[in-house]
Each structure stands twice: as structure tokens, then as C-alpha cells.
């Protein structure tokens, strides 16, 4: 008897879930397949988009650009909207994977996204034809004011022996070389053998002072007071300050990496019109604001920034630095296969030292 009840119950549940599926199977106006970074959107935004447009959103996430690329390239699962970073967009353009955008159909993009972000995008999308900025930020030094009393304004401090064993570096080849190349006054996209050797020697010299090479753990270690200085992405910096008020973020005077993650539409996108609608919706100021408040990564949407009520955040030099004040800001560009191999080789020499 008990068994029968259980079976009936299961049956009931499965029927219910089936009908639920049926209802959402495809929105009245079709669907759009979105491929974005993990935890990079407010889930409520997706729901409100579905309700307003009747387009069903199929949402998929990736962890790194390198994981995303082969999936889009293979075309096995056709995505309509993808959100890669700068250098990866360049690689996708070079390999003819992206469709040119029709800005007429995405009016909000030109209306609300600041011109300076389009200018910055030219480094990887020279004609501003393929990408619309979604989030951006800088890379800088996060330091603990109780441990570092002198002013921090230069990458040099990461080579200061006073802070031996108190420095956290990024455990990724491009970010680590960016720090060294910028310190030496070179381009972070340099392919010049001498400059790269010099940067490598610098990183080797720095290694005894480094406490650890980490990526996501910079955040937790800095909050916990484990280290005095750490190289971090600006979007994370806002979060760490909320958790530990002693932390301060600076953009070094030698310049740094200004990165942009942008919406693009792959060439093989099956639902182009819906993709355009989705991007346009994301560019609405109130939606961009909602996303900004949820993920704390800086928005390039000027309209959204106007809507921010908290003046401290609106004028935060971390979230919205005045880029014209800084020199030598650059964006990563794709180095080609040989360039990548060269960087990896040198990085391995640093790590094995």
C-alpha cells in the first residue's frame, strides 16, 4: 500500500514537472541562448526579460575564456549571445567566429554606453563593429592600511623587501607579466624578446618576497589579513572593502590593465533578432544598475551610473576611476599562438626557479 502511494506521488510530481516544462519549453517569441561568465548577472534580470519579451532565455555559464572558446568554435551548441573578454574577442574576430552587430537594432547601446569604453574597445575590436561593453575594470594593488603605512602608488612596492612574505601575486601568466612589464615601462602586450626576458628576471627576483601565487584566494587572504599587499581585479576590491575596512585599492602610476568583457553575437547564432533584443535590454540603465548592484563589477553604462543613489559608490575611484588621470593604461590583445607559447615558457621558468 505504502509503495502504491509513493508511486502515485512520484507520478504526480513528474506530471507536474512535465507540464511545467511544457509551459516554458519555448517562449511565445522563441528563445535566446546566452553564454556568460559564472555569477555575472542578476538572475532577476533574466526573469524580467522573459516576462517582458516572451522570449525564453537558455542560460549557460563558463569559467574562463579558454573554456568558452572551443565550445563556440566547434559550434556544437549554437549560442546567440556570448560575453568574452577583450583579447579573446580579438581572437574570435581573427578566426571569423563573430557576426557584425546591427546597432540600429540595439539603440540603447549607443545611447547609454560611454564613448570612452568604445574607444578602449578599439584595441581588440578596431571598428567597434563586433562588441558592446558589459563590464569593465582595472587591475591594481589591494593593501592593508594597518600593515603598509607608506603611500602605495607604484608597482615597485611589490619588490620592496620590507614586505617579504606579505605579497600575493596573480597565478596567471598574462596578469603576472603585466605587472612586471608595466613596472619596466613596457607594453603588457609586448612580444619583444629583450623586454620579456627583463620582465622574467624581475619576476624571478620578486619570487622570494611573494607569499603565494593565487587567483581567487587573493580576496579571502586579504580579508583575513594574511598578507599586506595583493594584486587584484577592481570588481573584487569593492567586495573586499565591504568585508574589511582596512583594505585600500590603488591603480599604480606606471599604468595597468583595463579589461572589458563585452557582448558579442557568434556568426552561427540561430536567433539573431532575439540576441539583439537581449543585448539591448542589458543596456537599459535600470537593468545595468540592477546587475551592477548584484555583481559589483563596474558598468560602462553611463545611464546606470547616473541612477546610482549612493554618492560614494557613484564617484568611487575604484568602481569608476577617471581613466584620463592615469597613464599607460592598456587592454590585453591576443598574442597569437607563438606569442602565447613564449609567455608560457617564460612563466614556467619563473615558477620553477
Partner 1 sequence: MNKKTLAFPYVFWAAAFIVIPLCMVFYYGMTDKTGAFTLSNIITIATAEHSKALLLSLELSFVSTVICFILAYPLAMMLTNMHVSTHSFIVLIFILPMWMNFLLRTLAWQTLLEKTGVINNVLAFLHLPALDIINTPGAIILGMVYNFLPFMVLPIYNALCKIDGNVINAARDLGANGIQTFLRITLPLSLPGIISGITMVFIPALTTFVISTLLGGSKILLIGNVIEQEFTQTGNWHLGSGLSIVLMIFIIVNMVVEAVFDREGEGNKL
Residues of this chain that bind partner 1 (CB under 8 A): 66, 171-173, 207, 210-214, 224-226, 340-341, 344, 348-349, 351-352
**CA–CA separation, 42 vs 124, rounded Å?**
27
**Cβ proximity to partner 1, 211 vs 274, nearer residue:** 211
Distances in Å between the Cα of 292 and the Cα atoms of 57, 182, 239, 304 are 20, 29, 12, 9
How near is the Cβ of 145 to partner 1 at its closest, in Å?
16
How near is the Cβ of 351 to partner 1 at its closest, in Å?
5
How near is the Cβ of 171 to partner 1 at its closest, in Å?
5
How near is the Cβ of 139 to partner 1 at its closest, in Å?
18
**Cβ proximity to partner 1, 207 vs 314, nearer residue:** 207
Name residues whose C-beta falls within 8 Å of residue 335's C-beta, 6 or more positions apart in sequence.
87, 189, 191, 342, 343
**Cβ proximity to partner 1, 17 vs 344, nearer residue:** 344
**Cβ proximity to partner 1, 89 vs 210, nearer residue:** 210
**Among 26, 18, 39, CA closest to 270:** 26
**Among 259, 289, 278, CA closest to 34:** 278
**CA–CA separation, 277 vs 211, rounded Å?**
47
**Cβ proximity to partner 1, 56 vs 91, nearer residue:** 91
Q: What is the number of alpha carbons within 13 Å of residue 68 lying toward its C-beta?
A: 24
How near is the Cβ of 48 to partner 1 at its closest, in Å?
37
**CA–CA separation, 166 vs 112, rounded Å?**
42
Does the CA dihedral 165-171-173-177 come out positive or negative? negative
- Collapse the DSSP code of 231 into the 3-class scheme (helix H, G, I; strand E, B; otherwise coil) and give the result: strand
How near is the Cβ of 146 to partner 1 at its closest, in Å?
12
Does the CA dihedral 92-95-98-99 come out positive or negative? positive
How near is the Cβ of 71 to partner 1 at its closest, in Å?
14
**Cβ proximity to partner 1, 62 vs 297, nearer residue:** 62
**Cβ proximity to partner 1, 161 vs 322, nearer residue:** 161
**CA–CA separation, 68 vs 61, rounded Å?**
9
Amino acid at each position: 500500500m505504502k509503495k502504491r502511494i509513493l508511486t502515485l506521488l512520484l507520478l504526480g510530481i513528474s506530471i507536474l514537472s512535465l507540464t511545467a516544462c511544457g509551459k516554458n519549453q519555448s517562449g511565445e517569441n522563441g528563445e535566446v541562448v546566452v553564454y556568460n561568465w559564472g555569477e555575472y548577472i542578476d538572475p532577476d534580470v533574466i526573469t524580467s526579460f522573459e516576462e517582458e519579451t516572451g522570449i525564453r532565455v537558455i542560460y549557460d555559464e563558463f569559467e574562463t575564456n579558454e573554456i568558452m572558446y572551443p565550445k563556440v568554435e566547434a559550434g556544437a551548441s549554437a549560442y546567440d549571445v556570448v560575453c568574452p573578454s577583450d583579447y579573446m574577442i580579438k581572437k574570435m574576430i581573427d578566426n571569423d567566429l563573430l557576426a557584425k552587430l546591427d546597432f540600429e537594432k540595439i539603440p540603447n547601446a549607443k545611447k547609454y554606453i560611454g564613448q570612452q569604453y568604445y574607444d578602449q574597445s578599439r584595441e581588440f575590436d578596431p571598428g567597434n563593429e563586433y562588441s558592446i561593453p558589459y563590464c569593465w575594470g582595472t587591475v591594481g594593488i589591494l593593501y592593508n592600511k594597518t600593515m603598509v603605512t607608506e603611500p602605495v602608488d607604484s608597482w615597485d612596492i611589490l619588490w620592496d623587501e620590507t614586505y617579504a612574505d606579505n605579497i600575493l601575486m596573480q597565478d596567471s601568466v598574462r596578469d603576472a607579466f603585466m605587472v612586471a612589464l608595466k613596472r619596466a615601462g613596457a607594453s603588457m602586450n609586448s612580444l619583444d624578446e629583450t623586454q620579456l626576458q627583463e620582465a622574467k628576471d624581475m619576476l624571478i627576483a620578486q619570487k622570494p618576497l611573494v607569499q603565494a601565487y593565487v587567483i581567487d584566494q587573493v580576496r579571502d587572504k586579504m580579508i583575513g589579513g594574511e598578507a599586506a599587499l595583493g594584486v587584484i581585479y577592481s570588481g573584487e576590491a569593492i567586495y573586499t572593502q565591504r568585508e574589511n575596512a582596512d583594505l585600500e585599492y590603488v591603480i599604480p602610476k606606471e599604468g595597468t590593465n583595463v579589461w572589458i568583457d563585452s557582448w558579442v553575437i557568434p556568426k552561427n547564432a540561430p536567433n539573431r533578432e532575439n540576441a539583439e533584443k537581449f543585448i539591448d535590454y542589458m543596456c537599459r540603465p535600470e537593468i545595468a544598475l540592477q546587475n551592477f548592484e548584484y555583481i559589483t563589477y563596474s558598468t560602462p553604462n553611463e545611464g546606470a551610473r547616473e541612477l546610482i543613489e549612493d554618492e560614494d559608490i557613484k564617484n568611487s575611484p575604484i568602481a569608476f576611476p577617471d581613466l584620463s588621470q592615469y597613464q599607460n593604461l592598456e587592454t590585453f590583445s591576443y598574442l597569437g599562438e607563438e606569442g602565447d607559447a613564449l609567455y608560457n615558457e617564460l612563466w614556467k621558468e619563473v615558477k620553477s626557479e
